[in-house]
Structure 1
Amino acid sequence: MKRDKTKLVNALRDRAASEGFVAFGIAPGRLAPLAGARLRQWLEDGLHGDMLWMESRANERASPDILWPEVKSVIMLGMSYAPAHDPMILADQEDRARISVYAQGRDYHDVVKGALKRLAGWLAHEAGAGVKVFVDTAPVMEKALAQSAGLGWQGKHSNVVSRAHGSWLFLGAIYTTAELEPAIAAGDSCGSCRACQDICPTNAFPAPYRVDARRCISYLTIEHKGPIDPELRPLMGNHIYGCDDCLAVCPWNKFAAAAAAHKAFLPRAELVAPQIADLLTLDDAAFRKLFSGSPIKRIGRDRFVRNVLIAAGNGRDRGLITQIEALLADPAPVVRGAAIWALSRLAPDALLRARQRLLTEEQDPSVRAEWALVDAQVIAC
């Protein structure tokens, strides 16, 4: 029986490779209690920000067998999205917007989930086992499971680090009722390195292995729906969707070959270094067209333009003033508020000239709060 299971696992590994997975491992269907305890402490400390769904199903996240009592094994898989270019190359190019590497190609949810379903279907047929597939949209602790399955360890930036693929892995999980031999869990190999901690623009790491989502640029530009904390805006630079800084500086990336990246994640040319000026003009239809098939589409045009306005305010291009002024009257409050902030940085005199007319008409409390910030700055000066 053991030999048959070994053959099954070997065949499964081969099929996984044919689907584009470069990392494969098996974890037991139960996580150590410490994983759940760390999650609960993180939630109790409020470091998850507005991601309230993490609270509501925290117990199910704590271990696979709580989510699905019949699970015996978890097959953990990884697809590489290692970039061919340096994600930090745009850091000083104020006219260009920085989009996270993972979002420059096709939506990984669709790619990874499709491959997982085909692989799980084969396993169900061959082993007569029950299966469920997950790609970070369910209460599953993929990172802890990946470490348990030997794919890599959770680095000090809290993401998985692989000896072979660095910090560039998309993770997927297949829960199964089949009893498969688990791999040896990966050990931590970060050592004394703290490059990911030191590079973070917003100081989002209160301690190694612990991230405060409320300060994380990825969270702020993707998950956070309202106005971004004014204290953090100047620190965001030209990041408009996600942030690769802590991943990009990981020393283990030197072993990650861009050639291993799944072809679906190859960057679209127009998303590698887009002009901030072009992105400020996007209406909803143009936004949907530009980001069709991209994970960026899910945040919607209004949040996206909010992010672009913050990048514009962090630059020094006065050629954007006219475009920003037009957005002071945008239908979306979150856009109007961000436009006020951006213009206060680039052309405060123009903003103050428009203040009386616009403030009189403004009904949204969040936008009025932005005007109050402008007034406070004028008084302070």
Structure 2
Amino acid sequence: MNGELKRRVLAVCREAGFPLAGVARAAPAGGARAAAERALAEGLFGEMRWMDADWVERATDPGRFLAGARSLVVVALPAHAPDPPRPADGRARGLVARYARGRDYHRVFEGRLRKAVRRLREEFGAEARATVDYGPLLERPYAAAAGLGWLGKSTMLLAPGFGPWVLLGVIATTLELEPDPPLRKSCGSCRRCIVACPTQAIAPDGGVVDARRCISYLTIEHRGVVPRDLRAAIGARVFGCDDCLDACPVGASRWEADPELQAASAERAWPELRAFVEMDQAEFEAAYRGTALMRAKREGMARNACIALGNVGSAEEAPVLARALEDGSAVVRGHAAWALGRLAARTGADVQELLTWRLTAEDDPWVREEIALALEEADARTRTG
């Protein structure tokens, strides 16, 4: 194969803004397909209903993504920025996953991938098509096939020197490029990510994640009610979770992130929780347009903030949650009720009157159940002092 052609193609990717790139054959990923089919059959994708049997088949066959595809160029951006100092203002604050603190990475990738694809078409006369993780192509197995890293027990790609702190994109092309050799590495006996997961979402032996228990899924993709038994483990996290990444020793000491992925302010990493509860749709869009937080929508972020307030808020946050009991979304009202009960149990906040008043006005059966359970929790705290 033409090594010079590959060198020029990888140079195009670097010039488009991707410091990491590798090449894999555009062949069906049989092992990844079998694993995804098992996960689908076991319901591990949760409510991500677009990830059906047809999606799995398409996502593991580059030929269905681009007719005549011969090579996949997998590109990556580092996303391991240190935490900005947490504001010392005494306000209850949430925590946003590192990758989501800057500009929406999908937009970052899209602009750069378009440049690379255009050059491949114009300079090499080849067909090319690109995607980020929302597209029908499983990027992690192909990144491993392209020698960018290996799949860790957390199912994240672990890139040498960067660990799990990389975001991925893929360009399928009709160019015949020499593939890079896969790395001969593994996690060995290390289980740090498995132990670190707050909700035990990673299988005991690793390699499988149950999205239904994963905090990233619950706070971003999941719509509706968060299971009661998982709410306390969410802690202050309002968008995503970095615990399994933070636990990984690979790349842990290397702090490097693309400038567009870094937090523009401390507020992007440590947002004030009450703001999500109090802002309306227009205010939410104005504040977070162009960021990944739009994925969770205003209702999801308000729900997540209620859970976090219940977990880390003080008694002073009770009035904020009381106002959330009147939110137009039953999802928000129900989680606000749970948060008030937890706040009472944690801090001794006097919330019975607020909950009792709302119970008389609430007509949603699930919200009424949450209010009743919150009252029981608050009453139990009162009895025990």
Is the pair's TM-score, using the shorter chain for normalization, greater than 0.5?
Answer: yes
SS at structure 1 position matched to 2:299: helix
Tell me the distance in 2 between the aligned counterparts of 1:320 and 1:360.
22
**Cα separation, 1, equivalents of 2:19 and 2:296:** 29
Partner AA of 2:148 in structure 1? L
Query: In the aligned structure 2, how far is the partner of 1:190 from the partner of 1:227?
Result: 35
Tell me, in whole angstroms, the C-alpha distance in 1 between the residues paired with 2:188 and 2:84: 24
Shift of the alpha carbon at 1:372?
4.4
1:142 to 2:135 alignment: no
> May I ask how many residue pairs the two structures share in their alignment?
373
Cα RMSD (Å) of the superposition? 2.3
For 2:29 and 2:58, the matched residues in 1 are separated by 13
Query: 1:86/1:27 Cα in 2 relative to 1: closer, same or farther (>3 Å)?
Result: farther
Stretches of 4+ aligned residues off by more than 6 angstroms? 378-381
CA distance in 2, matches of 1:222, 1:285: 19
1:21–1:80 Cα contact (<8 Å) kept: no
TM-score, length of structure 1 as denominator length: 0.91
Aligned residue runs from structure 1 range 203-242, under 5 A? 203-207=200-204, 208-242=206-240
| Aligned residue number for residue 293 of structure 1 | 290
Residue 334 of structure 1: aligned partner:
331
2:349 pairs with 1:352: no
CA deviations 1:217-264 (Å, max 9, x no partner) are 000000111010000001111111000111112111235342xx2211
Q: Does 1:185 align with 2:169?
A: no
2:141–2:151 Cα contact (<8 Å) kept: yes
Please give the alpha-carbon distance, in whole angstroms, between the structure 2 residues aligned to 1:126 and 1:140: 25
Aligned to 2:58: 60
Q: Which residue of 2 aligns with 1:363?
A: 363
| Counterpart-to-counterpart distance in 1, 2:32 and 2:91 | 41
The residue that corresponds to 1:247 in the other structure is 245
- List gaps (5 residues or longer) in structure 2: none
Aligned-partner SS, 1:366: helix
What is the alpha-carbon distance in structure 2 between the residues aligned to residue 280 and residue 362 of structure 1?
19
Matched, 1:310 2:307: yes
Which sits farther off after the overlay, 216-225 or 202-211?
A: 202-211
The one of 90, 103, 106 aligned to 2:103? 106
2:33 is the alignment partner of 1:39 = no
Shift of 1:69: 4.2
- CA shift, 1:360, in A, is 3.5
8 Å CA contact 2:322, 2:354 repeated in 1: no
The alpha carbon displacement at 1:350 in A equals 4.7
Q: Deviations over 1:113-144 (max 9, x none)?
A: 11111101111122211111111112211000
Q: Percent identity?
A: 35
Which range is displaced more, 143-152 or 202-211?
A: 202-211
Contact 1:154-1:188 within 8 A present in 2 as well = no
Matched, 1:201 2:201: no
Counterpart secondary structure, 2:72: strand
Structure 1 range deviating more: 358-367 or 167-176: 358-367
What is the Cα deviation at residue 180 of structure 1?
1.0
- Indicate whether 1:266 and 2:262 are aligned: yes
In structure 2, the CA distance between the partners of 1:320 and 1:255, relative to structure 1 (3 Å rule), is closer
Structure 1 residues 316 and 120: alpha-carbon distance in aligned structure 2, compared to 1, 3 A threshold: closer
1:38-187 to 2 correspondences below 5 Å: 38-55=35-52, 56-85=54-83, 95-187=92-184
1:32-80 deviation line (CA, Å, top 9, x unaligned) = 4121111100111111100111114111112212444421111100011
Amino acid at match of 1:65: G
Task: Supply the distance in 1 between the matched residues of 2:369 and 2:46 (Cα, whole angstroms).
Answer: 21
AA at the equivalent of 1:180: L
Residue 355 of structure 1, CA deviation: 4.0
- Please give the alpha-carbon distance, in whole angstroms, between the structure 2 residues aligned to 1:185 and 1:86: 36
CA distance in 2, matches of 1:331, 1:279: 14
- Distance in 2, matches of 1:277 and 1:312, equals 8
**For the Cα contact (< 8 Å) 1:340–1:351, is it kept in 2?**
no
* Letter of the 2:126 counterpart: A
Shift of 1:359: 2.8
Give 1:345 shift.
Answer: 1.4
Alpha-carbon displacement from aligned partner over 1:86-115 (angstroms, at most 9, x marks no partner): 89x89xx99321100011000010111111
Give the 3-state SS of the residue equivalent to 1:57 in structure 2.
helix
Superposition pairs of residues 268-283 of structure 1, within 5 angstroms: 268-269=264-265, 270-283=267-280
Identify the residue that residue 11 of structure 1 maps to in structure 2: 8
Task: Give me the TM-score of the superposition, normalised by structure 2.
Answer: 0.90
Residue deviations 1:292-323 (CA, integer Å, cap 9, x gap) = 21010222111101101101101251110111
DSSP 3-state at the match of 1:133:
strand
- Specify the SS of the correspondent of 1:75: strand
Structure 1, unpaired ranges of 5+: none
